[in-house]
Every structure is written in C-alpha cells, then in structure tokens.
Homo-oligomer: A and B are copies of this chain.
C-alpha cells in the first residue's frame, strides 16, 4: 500500500529521528535518566513558548490541555468571555460551560477576526474572571491578534487563556510579552512531535487562582498537581515515556533550525500557498489581514465537489489535505503547512492540486500556481 502524505493541520509528518526515538526501549518514569530528558523538554518548550513560566506536560490530546486550563481556573458560576469564530473557539466556550461557567460569547464571523471594541464591551459589561481566545483558528485558517487581548486582560485584571495549539513552534507566540496566563498547545502540530501530548504554560497570576480555587472539578487535569510534580522534576501520573522520547527529538530539531528561522519558514510557506491559490483562480476563505501562517483555508469552487479536490488528491497523488469542519464541511479545504514542511514538499501538493483542478474542469493555467508560489517564496 502506497503511503499517504499528510498535509493536514495536524497530525503532521514526523521526521525519521522522531519516529525512531519512539522505538527506544522504555525507561522507568521515576528514574534520573528519564528525568533528565524531561528537564530538557521543559527547557526547550520554554524556548518555543518564549516564556519563563512553568509548562505542564499532559499525556492527552490538545483538548485535554484546553480542559486542564479551564477546569483548573474556573468554578461553578464564574463568568468567562469567549471569543469564538471557528470550531476551536467554540470548543473553549463549550468546555468553560461544561465546568459550570456562565459564558459570554463574542461571536466573530468565520474567516474574519474580532473587533477589539466589541471584546472590550463584553468584558466591561461582565464580571468575567477570564477571557478565552483561539490564537490560530485551525478550522478557518485565521490568525487572531493575541497581544491585543493580552493587553485588555491586564487592563481589566482577567486571566487570559489562549489556545495556541496550531501556533506554538510555527508562528510567533510571545507568551510572557503578550501576557498569556494559560497558554495551551499540542504536540502534533507545529512542534512536529507525535500526537498525544498537551501543554499548558501557566503564569504566576494563574497559579494563584488555581491554588485558591475551592470549586475546582478536576484531578487528572488539575494543573496544581502538575506544578507539585514539576517542582520535583517529574509528572504527577505515568507519562507516555515513548511520546516524551518523540517530543524530545522533535524539540531538538526545532532548536537546531532555530525558532526564528522556523517562524520565517512558516510565513513564507503560507504566503506561497496563498499566492498559488490565487494564481489557480481559487478564493481564500480567510481575509488576507488575518490569514494563518500555519494552515491555509481555500474555498472549493462552486462547480466542484470536495471529492473532486480532496478525494482526487488522495487517490491520484497520495496526498491528504483537510476538509471543512462543522458548517464549512464540503465548502472549503485546508492545506496544513506546519511542522517540518519544506518548500519542496509544498510544491508537490500545489502541483498535484493544479492537476486535479484542471481534470475536474476548473479554469486554470497549469504551472501558474507553482510559479506564483516560487515567486512568493523567493521574496
């Protein structure tokens, strides 16, 4: 069976070093040898997070880290302002509600970004204890301005909870400078580590709330347990030793590339993808001024189906790109260019895309998309 190449917004393709790291025999999880690896993961995570805060390493999907952040700070009846505008923005609001919070949503049109005035109004009119934002909204391909929400949160003395699952390690996330109190990410996105680990960088302000939250409904996902363990250089529960091996290898690759070069690469790939799409007579879903640097959402032309595009890419070229989610099912497709994707790999999918579009009767000139991408990339 020919393998399908992943160009979805996570899980992303793993480097061989990362894959092979997972094949290493297990160590005891409470031994100095393993704790040395954990310490190095923490050091490297703080670098990609651009933070001096503690980073909790949770064995679980990205959503487990979202739940850990919210369940640890929120108690029954607390007000939370949630900026939505996509599937993952909605998820933060849903989790807050599941833990008994009264959620005030600031609904953002899918594909666009928030109005700061509107967010400020919602905050001013509420007794919110926290504001939530999805920094990079994977479902719509939108990057929101987290620094603006950080300033607002400070001004109104709220906790700022940001889902940076598809930005940390691929785009600029200045956790400390922007004032993100609970900064969430996952392993299988821009970090290019295997899926199954979630992370939360927690500020001192947030720790204070967490330690003094009597109404907390959490145990495995109670961040205070991670802090206690962190102080002893370990994790509160048996971590997935194999995934930590993979994470460590992935983080070392990031260090080698340098975060700066990595972010620049992601931005150039995103620009190249957008220019290629335009040159193929395709319409981008997200507005240019808030387009994501790690995933690009493209409208499926009205005369074509999801299968004409995604089905054909998979069948004929062995390439998996993502479909639309929720109300965007069948209306858009999304190319993930996060993790270790190179320009050469991006060109593969762009060239294949031209072929399947042409075959399905879409009006385009073969090669125009690839040329536009080359042009944009060499800028």
Q: State the A residues within 8 Å of B (CB).
A: 1, 3-4, 6, 8, 10-14, 19-20, 22-29, 31, 33, 58-64, 66-67, 71, 94-95, 98-100, 186, 188, 194-196, 216-222, 237-243, 246, 320
Contact = CB atoms under 8 A, between A and B. Distances in A.
A221 B63 CA distance: 10
B4 A238 contact: no
Nearest to A27: B4
A25 B8 contact: no
A13 B26 contact: yes
The 10 closest A-B pairs by CB, nearest first: A196-B240, A217-B217, A61-B237, A22-B22, A67-B220, A23-B23, A98-B219, A194-B242, A19-B23, A60-B60
B28 A6 contact: yes
A148 B62 CA distance: 39
B63 A61 contact: no
A186 B195 CA distance: 18
A26 B242 contact: no
A61 B218 CA distance: 15
Given A13-B25, A19-B23, A26-B194, A62 B8 contact: no
A24 B14 CA distance: 10
A33 B8 CA distance: 16
Contacts of A62: 237-238
Contacts of A237: 61-64
A67 B29 CA distance: 21
When all copies of this chain in the complex are counted, the total is 2
A319 to B, nearest CB: 11
Contact of A220 (B10, B63, B194, B239): B63
A98 B239 contact: no
A174 B358 CA distance: 58
A11 B71 contact: no
B31 A98 contact: no
15 contacts: A6-B26, A6-B28, A19-B25, A19-B242, A61-B237, A61-B239, A61-B240, A98-B216, A99-B219, A188-B238, A195-B238, A195-B241, A195-B242, A196-B242, A221-B221
A196 B195 contact: no
